[in-house]
Amino acid sequence: MCEVLIVGGGVMGLWAAVMAARAGFTTRLLERGAIGSGASGGLLGALMPHMPDRWNEKKQFQFDALMSLEGEIAGLEAATGLSAGYRRSGRIMPLGKPHLREIALGREQDAARHWCTPSRRFHWHVREADAGGWPPAEAAPFGVVHDTLAARVAPRSLLAMLRAALDQFPHVRCEEGAAVISLEPARGRLSLADGRALTFDHLVLAAGVESFFFIDGLTQPRRAPSGGAVKGQAALLRADIDPALPIIFSDGLYIVPHENGQVAVGSTSENRFDQPYSTDDQLDALLARATTFAPALLGAPVIERWAGLRPRATGREPMVGRHPDHERLFVLTGGFKVGFGLAHALARSVIDEIAGRPSGELPETFRCAHHIAALR
């Protein structure tokens, strides 16, 4: 039986392992730390669609992925008995300037055309904010957009569910504390920090930011790095908020109601930083902004402050599929802010390619070969 080795135990790697196991491959997942210890183990879990205007294949791919994710999660919840904290709660975007309202009104018809399936239709409504509402009228002087497509998931709950699903496959093995230090895809071999050497038929590199280090070492010549890290900070609060309320999104600020009286607030996007895993006054400023749009959070105790590094490919799109120079090496990284909504679909595309049934649905700009050509 063909063996697939997956490097990385975040949301991308776990979905790749699930898809490989379903395809019947002997599957081994290696995670240098603990499952979900990277950017995937954060707090937000917002599943946000692209704007419905200027429709293209990338937006269609994301829409289809957000549609299929709901069923994927429902099936895994039934199989494992665990909850991923998923809810299609929608999204509210306050409109602070008159021209933003005009733009939003123009997008209503775009959503009516593009945000639909044969059985479901999602909406983009422009309406007035309610006094004392979510958010209050004074925080949205020109109204709000309310879309019914956005959803959320509890990141750590989703990871735990995926990990439990893998335990149900006898041909899957997961190893934590297995740090990869070198790759030799031409020989089908890699080396671990503990001195072991492992062989593979196919390798899926889904190690987040660390993936770019390996890609750069294997890609010559090139004129630029394949990607880098963007730091994000977020916090989890305890508040008496209805978990069915929509996500509030305004100029980089996310307020995400979760179950059990928890609300996530985030996140910064920092390209320059000295302390990648510590929080600072930038998170304090974000929390202060959040109370403007959600006064119910005033005085809410902070349960956890979190910081982590998210992988962003140089071309900004996810980097997916076979490396053009190494037929055994497949890449699955660069999700940045859209990873949780796309991970299952991107992982399926990679495993389909390994199995010899490549999907034509993957946008060309997502393909690893496209990224590598741009780097050169």
With residue 344 as reference, give the H or E element that holds it. Answer: helix 339-354
What 8-state DSSP symbol labels residue 370? H
According to the model, what pLDDT value does residue 315 have? 84
> Do the Cβ atoms of 26 and 333 come closer than 8 Å?
no
- Secondary structure of residue 156 in the 3-state scheme: helix
Cβ atoms 181, 207 nearer than 8 A: no
Q: What pLDDT score was predicted for residue 124?
A: 97
What's the confidence (pLDDT) of residue 290? 97
**Three-class SS state of 2:** coil
CB 165 within 8 A of CB 79: yes
What are the residues whose beta carbons fall under 8 Å from the beta carbon of 328, sequence distance 6 or more?
A: 185, 186, 188, 200, 201, 202, 203
For the chain, give the mean pLDDT: 95
Burial class of residue 37, CB neighbours in 10 A (0-12, 13-18, 19+): middle
* 66-122 pLDDT per residue, tens: 999 999 999 999 999 999 999 999 999 999 999 999 999 999 999 999 999 999 999
Q: What is the DSSP letter of 334?
A: -
User: Looking at this protein, which amino acid is placed at residue 311?
Assistant: P
Q: What is the pLDDT of residue 1?
A: 66
Nearest to 346 by CA among 370, 320, 323, 365: 320
Q: Which domains occur in the chain, in start order?
A: 3-42+156-227+315-375 (3.50.50.60), 91-149 (no CATH)
The token pair at 147 is 């879309």
**Token output for 295:** 């006064």
Do 14 and 162 contact (CB within 8 A), yes or no? yes
pLDDT tens column, 205-253: 999 999 999 999 998 888 889 999 999 999 999 999 999 999 999 999 9
Q: What would the pLDDT profile of 127-139 be if each residue is shown by its tens digit?
A: 999 878 899 999 9
Question: Residue 165 has what pLDDT?
Answer: 98
pLDDT tens-digit series, residues 280-305: 999 999 999 999 999 999 999 999 99
Q: Is the peptide bond before 295 cis (omega within 30 degrees of 0)?
A: no
* CB atoms near residue 288 (< 10 Å): 10
316 forms bridges with which residues in the sheet?
none
In angstroms, how far apart are the furthest CA atoms of the chain?
65
